[in-house]
Amino acid sequence: MAEINDYIAKRIKDLRTASKLTQTQLAAELKVTPNTISRWEGGIYQPSMADLDRLARFFKRPIWVFLPVDRQPMAKEQSALMSATGDLPPEDIEELRRYADFVRARRTLRKKK
């Protein structure tokens, strides 16, 4: 599990620095303390799934950006779900995709503990 924590920590830091944000600025955007960001990036604390979702939304990335590719399950069921959404507006389709990603990522992280 430590390898996943280290990967998550590195991805948070990489996304933050690529966005030219300080830990304090990111903390203010997410309404957490700068110490929380520091602990996430240091691998001391692992963000909750809700925190990862907020980070993914803030950086406009899928939640999978926080997991190594070899830990990501196949998405055939998600593809079937998305094909049934043809008449929904784009923002609803995006929200469904994010929710499906969230559930799959949560399941993946739980299996690894």
Hunting for tokens 């692992």 — which residue is that?
46
Hunting for tokens 């925190």 — which residue is that?
51
- Helix, strand, coil percent values for the chain (each to nearest 5): 75, 0, 25
Domain 2-112, CATH among 1.10.260.40, 1.10.3720.10, 3.30.460.80, 3.40.50.1100: 1.10.260.40
Per residue in 22-72, pLDDT tens? 999 999 999 999 999 999 999 999 999 999 999 999 999 988 888 876 665
Q: Print burial letters for 72-86: b (CB count within 10 Å at least 16), e (below 16).
A: eeeeeebeeeeeeee
Token digits for 62? 């899928």
Position 29 scores a pLDDT of 97
Position 75 scores a pLDDT of 57
Position 105 scores a pLDDT of 82
Least confident window among 11-15, 43-47, 83-87: 83-87
